[in-house]
Every structure is written in C-alpha cells, then in structure tokens.
Amino acid sequence: MSGYASLEGKVALVTGGSRGIGAAISRELGSAGARVAVNYRSGKEPAEEIASEIGGIALAANVGDPAEAKELIERVESELGDIDVLVNNAGITRDTLIARMSDQEWEEVIETNLRGTFNTCRAVARKMLKRRSGAIVNLTSVVGIHGNPGQANYAASKAGIIGLTKALARELGSRGVRANAVAPGYISTELTDVLSEEIRGAILANTPMGRLGSPEDVAAAVRFLCSDEAAFITGDVLLVDGGLGM
C-alpha cells in the first residue's frame, strides 16, 4: 500500500464506483491505501462486493440531485472522515442523432454527467479549501474534446466537465486544492462490448496503439493524479486513449 503514488491514510469518494471504469478506480485507490466510499445509483450488490473487497463502504445516491449529492458527502465524512480525494466518474449515455433527441434524453445526460460533477465538487470545496489540501479528478472523454455523431448530449456534458475542471483549478489552486480531468478513449467495458466489428475495426485503425484500453489503464492515471506525486499538476486533461485523440 505504500510506495509510489501512495494514498495511505486518505479518504476517497468515487462516484459511479461499482461498475466498469468506476470499479477499477475504486479498487486502485483502495490498493493505494485509501479508505474508499464506493457510490452507486443502482447495483447495490456489486458496490457492496467491491467495498468489502477493499475495506471501504458502499453508499447509494443520485449525484445529479443536489440534495442527494450533499447528503452523500456528509455521510462519507461521518463514516470515514474528511474527504481528501474526490473522483467523479458517474455518467450515463442516451445516444441518438440530435434531430431525434428528446428533451428528456438531453436533460438526463447533462444532469447526471455535468450537474452531478458540479454538485459533488461544490459539496467538498469548502472543507478542502479550509484544510488547504485535496485532489479532485473528474472523468471526461475524448468525445468531449472531439465530438461524436449521435452523442451531442454526452459530448456537451463531457466538454462542460473540462471547463468546470479548469475553473476549479483556478479557483482552488491558491489553497492547495488540485482539480484535474482524465479523458478515456475507447475502453473495454459493457458499453463497448456491444459495438459491431465494423465500428470496432474503425476505432482500432485510428488508435496508434492498436487496442482498446482497459479500465485499469484509466484507474492507474486517476491514482497518479490523486497522489502527492502529482502535487504540481492542476487544470490538466490527461488523455488515456492510446493516441486516438491526437
């Protein structure tokens, strides 16, 4: 648990921490020595399994709701202590072309992905500022940088997270609080497992490393940005995409 990029003695909250990339991040932060709160909206069983595995806790909350996000932060503080590390991973997709996109499909994605990130960042900011320490890592996407057809809502939410992260870095930096973003490319999860061979082939053809990423690839980058080894890094967007976003 000690050594490079150690989080020994730190308290971490991972939103959307029970599946896919979020589960890998929860495990990685736990293996680094952090006491991890695994947040989930649905899927109580996998969240509790991961929490048990890493000696953390599992807490249900819809971070897109300001009141639930605030209560989540308070519960983590009550059960584990002040939050040193916040990782915003909770996100959804509602893909369709913009001409067919409903108000609900737009609003649901913006509420969960962007508003949820804002809600938790706002809820932890005051105490982090007071303590003059803290690390926030927000999960964005290469789609938020380059766009993608059929994902106007998702791309807008992820681009918004980049702007939010940079604003936070400027607001909080003088008090020793860092805010960074990680932008995964195409990662091998349940979402990419359903891609056709044609689409998968096109993605790999445009990825210099010639493979999909793994959730663990993303988790390792998140761990680094949460650690003291990244003490002079803030406002950055780290692409974990095998070169796809160049």
Query: What was the pLDDT predicted at 3?
Result: 86
| Tens digits of residue pLDDT in 147-192 | 989 999 999 999 999 999 999 999 999 999 999 999 999 998 876 7
| Tens digits of residue pLDDT in 26-40 | 999 999 999 999 999
Question: What's the whole-model pTM score?
Answer: 0.96
**β partners of residue 178:** 135
Q: In what order do the strands lie in the sheet with 35-40?
A: 57-60, 35-40, 11-15, 85-88, 134-139, 177-184, 237-240
4 carries an active-site annotation: no
Query: What was the pLDDT predicted at 153?
Result: 97
Element (H, E) at 205: helix 197-205
CA distance 22 to 149: 25
For the cut 60, the answer to whether the pLDDT of residue 1 exceeds it is no
- Mean pLDDT (the chain, rounded): 95
- Show the domains of the chain with their CATH numbers: 11-186+214-239 (3.40.50.720)
Report strand pairing: 35-40 vs 57-60: parallel
142, 61, 157: which is closest to 106 by C-alpha? 157
* Residue 49, token pair as written in the block: 């399994």
Backbone phi and psi for residue 32, each to the nearest 5 degrees, phi listed first = -80, -5
Candidates 4, 40, 154, 186; catalytic one: 154
Question: Could you tell me the maximum CA-CA distance found in the chain, to the nearest angstrom?
Answer: 52
Query: What was the pLDDT predicted at 2?
Result: 58
The whole-number average pLDDT for the span 7-34 is 97
Torsion 33-169-155-120 (CA) sign: positive
Element (H, E) at 49: helix 44-54
DSSP classification of residue 227: S
Helix (H, G, I), strand (E, B) or coil at 19: coil
